[in-house]
């Protein structure tokens, strides 16, 4: 853990920063959506899981974060609206 912290500190001093994702709205400039997942608690288009960290160097993207995006309850709500 100490080595990892030292590495992160060194990279941070060089301008490398992690792309923060959890709970953030999906942004195609910084995130790569691997798949969408129904989630009752997260609004549509919200990042609900990070699969791989993303990084920027002095504000420029060097690797997009791979994420899972919420598609909310759209499908369930649509099914309820259809009269039978």
pLDDT in tens, 41-77: 899 999 999 999 999 999 999 999 999 999 987 555 5
Superfamily of domain 2-75: Head domain of nucleotide exchange factor GrpE (2.30.22.10)
Strand partners, 50: 67
pLDDT tier, 78 (very low <50, low <70, confident <90, very high otherwise): low
Report the run of H or E that residue 37 belongs to, with start and end.
strand 31-37
- DSSP 3-state of 40: coil
Q: How is the chain split into domains, by residue range?
A: 2-75
pLDDT value, residue 2: 80
């Amino acid at each position: 853990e100490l080595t990892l912290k030292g590495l992160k500190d060194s990279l941070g001093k060089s301008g490398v920063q992690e792309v923060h994702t959890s709970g953030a709205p999906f942004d195609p400039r910084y995130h790569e959506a691997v798949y969408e997942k129904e989630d009752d608690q997260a609004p549509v288009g919200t990042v609900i899981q990070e699969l791989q960290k993303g990084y920027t160097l002095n504000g420029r993207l060097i690797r997009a974060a791979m994420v899972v995006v919420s598609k909310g309850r759209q499908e369930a709500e649509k099914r309820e609206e259809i009269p039978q």
